[in-house]
Amino acid sequence: MVIITYANFRFYLLVATVFVSGVSQGMLMPLLSILLEDSGTSSTLNGLNAAALYIGILIASPFMEKPTFRFGYKPMLIIGLMVDMISIFLFPFWQNFWFWFLLRLIIGFGDNMLHFAAQVWIMETSKPEKKGRDIAIYGFSFGLGFAVGPLMPRLLKFSIYYPFFIVSLICLAILILMLFLKNDYPDAHFHDQPQDFGVMKRYKKVILLGWAGLITTFGFGFFESSLNGNFPVFALRHGLNIEDISTLLPCFVAGGLITQMPLGSLGDRLGRGRLILIISFFGSFSFLTAGFIYHSFGGLMVIFAITGMFIGSLFSLGMTFISDLLPKVLIPLGNILASVAYGIGSMFGPLIGGSLIKTPGGGFFFGIAGVMFIVFLACLIHNFSYLREKQQSSKM
């Protein structure tokens, strides 16, 4: 007989909340890109609309810490879910570029509240030896949602209302379950935080210690938003159809789901810095290869699956890497700056990707490969610096 403890219920409900966020993002990126493309919107403006969600994440990030410390995790999660649910419900009622831009911006606020509260709550209630595993489950759930989301455009053949209403109902179901959670406060876990540790000093400390992890989350945000926001437009302009796109994007996510848990556990043993170095290199090479075979549906399907296996879990690894690099009292701020880095990458991804679509050949994929190579170089420099510091310490 399996006994479900409250701690398990809380953990898996947080994981389910992240799943909903993944579904909404995974649906909105390709679905709205396709609808805007059909309405004659340029690829650059299409990319700008896709960036709105991440602009919202970026704007909201600096304001997440104080409300969470004051009101606790549960109110942040409930408000975030309500914001997402209402915004998604409203999309099909007015098909207007700027109305959709505003709704995406608002969803960015809601998603930031969800992710910040869920990430910090999971990290601070996980045992040190299981932290990588728990964050991997978190990433797996978000990735699973991202795999389900791109399937929603197929419901357009019935009505434009169907995909939005279904995701809104999922949000409502999780929201009802969320009411059964007991509230908790980060203050209980960070009571030893020095009072004289100034705000700017804290920001500087997080950046100096966790810069490699921040670049990792930036890189994930860039390629994820480019792939989901720009690739549908790129694919439609190179002869693929909606069914092809609805198959290719889940292939990438499915690849990430396969390796999410193994990579999370491997990171606990091998070290997140070394693991990110390896997977970012192969991810860069895979996207480079995609730039040469972009006309082949079968080739892209294989490349997307393989690339997903390498870098589909890059966000969860990056988040855990940052928590490894920071003292416990700075983990909430580390989560905020990780969200900022992710938001910046996600904001620039669709904008730059939209411009690269206009270049001949596979320039769109070459741009993503370049960003992945920057992540590789960042981890390479960090690892060398760490080894040098360790050697110098051993000589003293």
CA gap 179, 29 in Å, rounded: 29
Evaluate whether 372 touches 310 at the Cβ level (below 8 Å). Answer: no
* Number of helical (H) and strand (E) elements in the chain, helices listed first: 15, 0
pLDDT for res 74: 92
Helical pair 43-60 and 331-356, crossing angle rounded to 10 deg: 170
Q: What is the pLDDT of residue 199?
A: 64
Percent composition of the chain: helix, strand, coil (DSSP 3-state, to 5): 85, 0, 15
Residue 165 has what pLDDT?
Answer: 92
From first to last of its 396 residues, what are the pLDDT tens digits of the chain? 445 688 888 888 998 998 988 888 888 877 888 888 788 888 778 878 877 887 887 788 778 878 888 888 999 999 999 999 999 999 989 888 899 999 999 998 998 888 888 888 887 777 766 766 777 788 778 778 877 887 787 777 788 888 899 899 999 999 999 998 888 887 554 444 444 456 678 788 888 888 888 999 999 888 888 887 788 888 888 888 877 887 887 788 788 878 877 887 787 788 888 899 999 999 999 999 998 988 888 888 999 999 988 888 888 788 888 888 888 778 777 877 887 888 788 778 877 887 888 888 888 899 899 999 999 999 899 888 766 665 555 555
Q: What is the pLDDT of residue 396?
A: 54
Residue 129 confidence (pLDDT): 66
Residue 341 has, within 13 A of its CA and on its CB side, a CA count of 25
CB 129 within 8 A of CB 268: yes
What's the pLDDT score for residue 21? 87
The answer to whether 109 touches 196, Cβ cutoff 8 Å, is no
User: What's the pLDDT score for residue 72?
Assistant: 87
Return the number of other C-beta atoms located less than 10 Å from residue 188's C-beta: 9
Select from 57, 60, 59, 52 the least CA-distant residue to 28: 52
Q: How far apart are CA 147 and CA 152, in angstroms?
A: 10
Q: Which residue has the tokens 């690099």?
A: 325
Neighbours of 165 (CB within 10 A): 15
Q: Which residues of 117-131 are buried (b: 16+ CB within 10 A; e: fewer)?
A: bbbbbbbbebeeeeb
Q: Which two tokens stand for residue 177?
A: 């379950």
pLDDT of residue 42: 80
Q: How far apart are CA 248 and CA 384, in angstroms?
A: 37
Radius of gyration of the chain (CA): 20
Q: How many CA atoms lie within 13 A of 99 on its CB side?
A: 11
Q: How far apart are CA 368 and CA 224, in angstroms?
A: 9
Domains of the chain, each with CATH number or no CATH: 7-395 (1.20.1250.20)
pLDDT at 3: 59
Q: Where on the phi/psi map is residue 193: left (φ > 0), alpha (ψ -120 to 50), or beta?
A: beta
Per-residue confidence (pLDDT) for residue 1, from 0 to 100: 45
